[in-house]
Amino acid sequence: MRDGVSEGGTGLTGFRRYTWWAVPGTAVLCLLPLYGGWLLDGDVPAWARVPAVAALAVAAVAGAVLLSARLAPSDPDGAGPVRPPRGWLLADLAATAVLAVLPLLRQNYGLWGLAPAIAVAIGATYLTGRRRLAFVGGAVGSATLPGGSVALATGDGEFLYAALFPAGLVAFSVWMLLGPLWAWDVAGRLDRARRLEAEVAVKDERLRFAADLHDVQGHHLQVIALKSELAARLAERDPARAVAEMRDVRQLAADALRDTRAVVHGYRSTTLDDEIANATRVLAAADIDARMTLDPAAVAAGRAAPARHLLGLVVREATTNVLRHSSARRAEVDYRLAGGLARLRFSNDGAGAPEPAAAARPAGGSGLPGLAERLRAAGGELTWARDGDRFEVVASLPGLANGAAR
């Protein structure tokens, strides 16, 4: 996942920021104070401080880079990179070795395992499944050896602490870093599923349009072909009947053209119920919270054919405008009867700047101005207004209870 357009309106930008602070930030904050406090201890010899300071700086930067790279997938499908950046990985391993050896030489059993534990956790983020389990299990087991060996060799009586504490530190560091990264990966998969759902919704709409076009054209063209063939056979034997057949062909062609235009402009089989259901599905697929408030009496009254077409077209156009011209996160549809009028209100936030080209469309167009003209012809009204980042479309038609809208 990437910042910007693909994450707009999903909250992933903020989640990325939080995850960055929770993962690379936490790793760096664990290294700097603890090793910094040890370096300020007067018992640490001067010859150890210079390499330790350099190693601490390298480990902090390399760890942040490696974890940030893990949070930024390099392929379009969102899977993590196959390998960590090799140069930074080698730098982190070298710095980790220095930060482990120097405290261990001073028999600091509580500190020496911190840098290796974080390095193991970083490596585990780039692995999956059994490879990760084997890697972490081997690291936890191996962490008992250095400290335990030094404690046995020196005979200081701290064998259990020296052996077990670093192993526990490795396990805790892995858990601490993998938890937020697991949540990030899940969020990434959900976002990809959301975008895929939106693409499927668009494809479904295209298939619906193709089916409508096929129904119209298939019927008309088949009849035109048959009548044209009949007219060709009758041309010499019965010219008068051939002329009549060709008149029918001309009428069929005109009907096909009219019906095709109706499909293109969305005026064929457009119902309010279907368009509200489709709007809910498409807006949800675009991660827009769509709230529908429908008066059952208004829905029943709006089933008359003229109202069904006009109000359905208003919902379709408003939905299209939300998807094309806004960065909406919420949309509301309210449909009810009031004072003899059926009133449909469609509003959304995240409205973009008005487009002069859209405002200049002729009244006969297929946008809001064209729909306003059609509603006025039916005795109704269509208005739209922008207030800040909110955009609202309001349509009203009279006499729907009697099916009188024309």
Tokens of 275: 């368009």
- Find which of 168-172, 241-245, 261-265 is predicted with most confidence, using mean pLDDT: 168-172
Task: Say if residues 272 and 336 touch (Cβ distance below 8 Å).
Answer: no
Between β-strands 341-348 and 330-338, what pairing exists: parallel, antiparallel or unpaired?
A: antiparallel
Element (H, E) at 345: strand 341-348
Please determine, for residue 217, whether its predicted confidence score (pLDDT) is greater than 90: no
Q: What pLDDT is stored for residue 75 in this prediction?
A: 45
Q: How far apart are CA 169 and CA 110, in angstroms?
A: 9
Closest residue by Cα to residue 108 from 45, 177, 53, 64: 45
User: Are 327 and 285 contacting, i.e. CB atoms less than 8 angstroms apart?
Assistant: no
pLDDT at 171 over 60: yes
At 300, the pLDDT band (50, 70, 90 cuts) reads: low
Mean pLDDT of 11-15: 70
Percent of the chain with pLDDT over 90: 23
DSSP state letter for 229: H
Q: With a cut of 60, say whether residue 239 has pLDDT above it.
A: yes
**Which pLDDT does position 74 carry in this prediction?**
46
What is the band of 298 on the pLDDT scale with cuts at 50, 70, 90? low
Q: CA geometry: angle at 16 spanning 12 and 22, to 5°? A: 140
Higher pLDDT residue, 215 or 237?
237
* pTM of the full structure: 0.52
Q: What pLDDT score does 170 carry?
A: 93
State the pLDDT confidence band at 3, using cuts at 50, 70 and 90.
very low
Q: How confident is the model at residue 84 (pLDDT cuts 50, 70, 90)?
A: confident
pLDDT at 73: 56
Torsions phi, psi of 77, nearest 5? -80, -10
Return the minimum-mean-pLDDT range out of 73-82, 171-180, 392-401: 73-82
> Is 320's pLDDT higher than 90?
no
Distances from the Cα of 243 to the Cα of 108, 127, 238, angstroms? 107, 78, 9
* Phi, psi values for residue 386, rounded to 5°: -120, 125
What residues does 387 pair with on adjacent strands? 390
Instruction: Kindly state the average pLDDT of the residues 66-72.
Output: 83
Whether 363 has a pLDDT exceeding 50, the answer reads: no
Residue 126 · residue 152 · CB < 8 Å: no
**Complete DSSP assignment for 251-312:** HHHHHHHHHHHHHHTT-SS--HHHHHHHHHHHHHHTT-EEEEEE-HHHHHHTTSHHHHHHHH
Mean pLDDT for 275-291 is 78
What tens digit of pLDDT does each residue of 135-164 get? 999 999 999 999 999 999 988 889 999 999
Q: Per-residue confidence at 402, pLDDT binned at 50, 70, 90?
A: very low
What per-residue confidence (pLDDT) applies to 76? 45
Point out the least confidently predicted range of 112-116, 125-129, 308-312. Answer: 308-312
Instruction: Determine the Cα–Cα distance for residues 66 and 72; give it in Å rounded to an integer.
Output: 10
Q: Return mean pLDDT, the chain.
A: 80
Domains and CATH numbers, the chain: 5-196 (no CATH), 197-264 (1.20.5.1930), 272-402 (3.30.565.10)
Report the alpha-carbon distance of residue 1 to residue 79 in Å, rounded: 9
